[in-house]
Structure 1
Amino acid sequence: MAASPAAPLFPRKLAVALLALLACCFAGNHIAARIAFDNDTGVLLAILCRSGLTLLALAALLAWQRQPLSLPAGTRGWQVLLGLLIATQSLCLYSAVARIPVALALLVGNTFPILLALLGWALGGPRPTRRTALLMGLILCGLALALDVPARLRGGGADEPAWALGIALAFGAACVFACALWITDHKLAEVRGPVRSLLTLAIVFSSMLVAGLSGVMPAGLSVPGSSSGWLALASLVLLYGVAFTLLFVCVPRLNMAQNAPVMNIEPIATLVLGWALLGQQLSAMQLLGGALVIGAIVLLTYRKKG
């Protein structure tokens, strides 16, 4: 049963270890997704299975806790929009994972803190501080190195269209996720977290099902073409479902305001798993760029007091 808001926090070391484990599970989910896609699995099918299993787990938890699913007045439309944005983010990120090295897709996708800060400023929020602006610039420089932009500009190889589309999809995922976080903070703050999570997953599942049945994305519901593909599909569903549900249950005791930056270990874990399981390697310059991005994002997500 989920801890109540008054439940004692986990010890710092336990909370950090648990968040690192969850980040590794999410990383493993993306690696499994790439293996599934390489074995003819449809992107829509992967998201449909992933969200469906997690939805059932959360629904069972909420039913056990007997929590009502009512929404405060004026939030229904925003909740629907949030679900559609998360569905779009999932679709964009998985589509990027299918086209470019998984670690690069996650590095680009994890730039959402920059976009969230800029979005908040554009919509009347506080202007980014000099420290924030400096870290944003460092993230962009790191991305330029991680994506090997200079070599790409000089090159023009056969994989250029797929690479460009993959980067665009990952950046689109970051943009959409930043919008979703802004809506969560400013329009759905009154909605209880468990209800918001459940309804969001329900909308993701429904939208993927409609998209698949409508044929808007050809081969989106294609089943794996081999036993390896089926195993990868089962793995991504299990890893995501366990990680999401465990995070959902434990988040009141994890002191996320202090410990959330630990989740940025996900791209690092993805890089290691991508090298070990997929043979995806990055150059020393790309690794340096990735380290700059992750380090700057960690600093950016820490709230500086005073």
Structure 2
Amino acid sequence: MSPRLDLLLTALAPAIWGSSYYVATTYLPGWHPLLVALLRALPAGLLLLVIVGQLPRGAWWGRVFLLGALNFSVFWVLLFVAAYRLPGGVAATVGAIQPLLVVLLSRPLLGTPIAMMAVLAALAGIGGVAMLILTPGAELDPLGLAAGLGGAVSMAFGTVLSRRWQPPAGPLTFTAWQLAAGGVLLLPVALLLAPMPQTVDLGNLAGLAYLGLIGAALTYLVWFRGISRLEPSVIAPLGFLSPVTAVVLGWALVGETLSPMQMAGVLVIFASIIAGQRAQAARAKRALAATQLAVR
């Protein structure tokens, strides 16, 4: 598969993640964030483990639990805390700093040179997200802001380290390991702190099934596959597609309106993604040319 097709396939993951907000608020209203995160990760991870029938070995136990914490346990808990304590627009705008962090972390952890155009594209993407969903009168809760920033840092480290530590297994197995590890880490905390819902209906079960099987197992399989084939700094800006999906679903399913500012924000987001991809492609071409020149 060509890099362009790999990129398009990977883009499906954040596009689907954008539907998680609608599903959680519609089908799991009032559920504790820890409980939702646990039930999203652990059942899907255990199911995938049964399918792949392979466990980590040696040093990979520690790596898998660290990655599971960064990509799932810590990230999801902080994400839900931010979502509950901040207006949706503020939470999404704070989280949008993650692609910029990936670009910066790729330098010390992967040795990837920082392309200034990629930095500018990431900043433009943050601005596009703010135009899309940030309201002028939004309240800023300090704990919510800290949770949003912490979640972005956690996911950024998880993305870069997932590229640095390529596993001795395929993307499906790698996804199973991390989901299961993230769920195991969440289990004792959720049992201690998260109240159980008094009733569970078919709508709740449908929401959990979607978040676990589609919003976690399928999408992270696609995401980790993309990380194994493409540079993290290339795929990280695709995360801007998540708030776009959330707003489009609100318009299509809930009857929300799209203002000219929001439509402009969508254009800015897509422009930032394209600019970021071109910047990384130009950097790769320069690196290849320098290597060929050195060989000569």
- 8 A Cα contact 2:89 2:134, kept in partner: no
- 8 A Cα contact 2:37 2:77, kept in partner: yes
Report the number of matched residues. 277
Look up the match of 1:34.
25
- TM-score of the superposed pair, with normalisation by structure 1: 0.70
Report the AA paired with residue 275 of structure 1: W
Look up the match of 1:80.
65
CA gap of 1:301–1:210, structure 2 versus 1, over 3 A, is: farther
The residue correspondences of 1:161-200 to structure 2 (distance < 5 A) are 161=140, 165-186=143-164, 188-192=165-169, 193-200=171-178
Unmatched 5+ stretches in structure 2: 287-296
Shift, 1:103, TM fit: 6.6
The residue correspondences of 1:51-90 to structure 2 (distance < 5 A) are 51-63=41-53, 68-73=54-59, 75-86=60-71, 87-90=73-76
Report the AA paired with residue 271 of structure 1: V
Taking every aligned residue pair, what percent have the same amino acid on both sides?
Answer: 24
Report the AA paired with residue 69 of structure 1: L
Partners of 1:143 and 1:56 in 2: how far apart? 35
CA gap of 1:297–1:20, structure 2 versus 1, over 3 A, is: closer
Q: Does 1:211 align with 2:189?
A: yes
Shift, 1:179, TM fit: 0.9
Look up the match of 1:160.
139
Shift, 1:53, TM fit: 2.9
The residue correspondences of 1:117-266 to structure 2 (distance < 5 A) are 117-121=103-107, 125-146=111-132, 148=134, 151-152=136-137, 160-161=139-140, 165-186=143-164, 188-192=165-169, 193-215=171-193, 218-219=194-195, 221-222=196-197, 228-229=203-204, 231-241=206-216, 243-244=218-219, 247=222, 251=225, 265-266=241-242
- TM-score of the superposed pair, with normalisation by structure 2: 0.72
Partners of 1:100 and 1:276 in 2: how far apart? 24
CA gap of 1:56–1:137, structure 2 versus 1, over 3 A, is: closer
Q: Does 1:275 align with 2:260?
A: no
Q: Does 1:289 align with 2:279?
A: no
Report the AA paired with residue 54 of structure 1: A
- 8 A Cα contact 1:148 1:286, kept in partner: no
Say which SS state the counterpart of residue 55 (structure 2) adopts: coil
Unmatched 5+ stretches in structure 1: 1-8, 153-158
Query: Comparing both chains, which one has the higher relative contact order based on Cα–Cα distances under 8 Å and sequence gaps of 6 or more?
Result: 1
Report the AA paired with residue 249 of structure 2: L
- 8 A Cα contact 2:16 2:219, kept in partner: no
Partners of 2:205 and 2:121 in 1: how far apart? 41
Partners of 1:148 and 1:248 in 2: how far apart? 27
Look up the match of 2:290.
none
- 8 A Cα contact 1:33 1:94, kept in partner: no
Partners of 1:132 and 1:91 in 2: how far apart? 29
